Amino acid sequence: MIGKNIIESEPIPGVEVKEILEEFSEDNELNYEQNITLNHLARFKRYSLEDSQEIIAKLQEEFNLRPKVAVHIVDLVPEDLADLRLIFAKEPSKIDNEEMKKILELLEQYDVVE
């Protein structure tokens, strides 16, 4: 990694990574890491790309969450408060139970793709 610098970093949802890898694999052969990543992403339930982007925007706007946290919520698809608490466990800004319940209500409005 000598001579390489990260210019910009932006968290993106797993469903977007999956779509990028699937498009790339149509014309090219995936390397080992890309293949493992694609297999991993295919195993878990997710929101559609459009729903993921909409949920992330709402989480950032309504709950003032960092992009990284919003992407984690979309990728992990928490089903209850315990799951959501684990996501917020290492966050410097604490969120109360009422806001967590509102986040879960927001997530329930969207269908999960198997």
Domains in the chain (CATH in brackets) are 14-46 (no CATH), 49-113 (1.10.150)
Tokens representing 23? 């498009």
Report how far residue 105's alpha carbon sits from residue 63's, in angstroms, rounded to the nearest whole number: 13
DSSP the chain: -TT----------HHHHHHHHHHHHHHS---HHHHHHHHHHHHS-EE-HHHHHHHHHHHHHHH---HHHHHHHHHH---SHHHHHHHHTT-SS---HHHHHHHHHHHHTSPEE-
Write down the pLDDT at residue 1: 54
What would the pLDDT profile of 56-113 be if each residue is shown by its tens digit? Answer: 999 999 999 999 999 999 999 999 999 999 999 988 878 899 999 999 999 999 999 8
Asked if pLDDT for residue 14 goes beyond 70, the answer is yes
What would the pLDDT profile of 32-64 be if each residue is shown by its tens digit? Answer: 999 999 999 999 889 999 999 999 999 999 999
- Amino acid type, 21: L
Our measurement of the distance from residue 77's CA atom to the centroid of its chain's CA atoms, rounded to an integer in Å, reads: 8
- Amino acid type, 60: Q
The CA angle 60-16-14, to the nearest 5 degrees, is 75
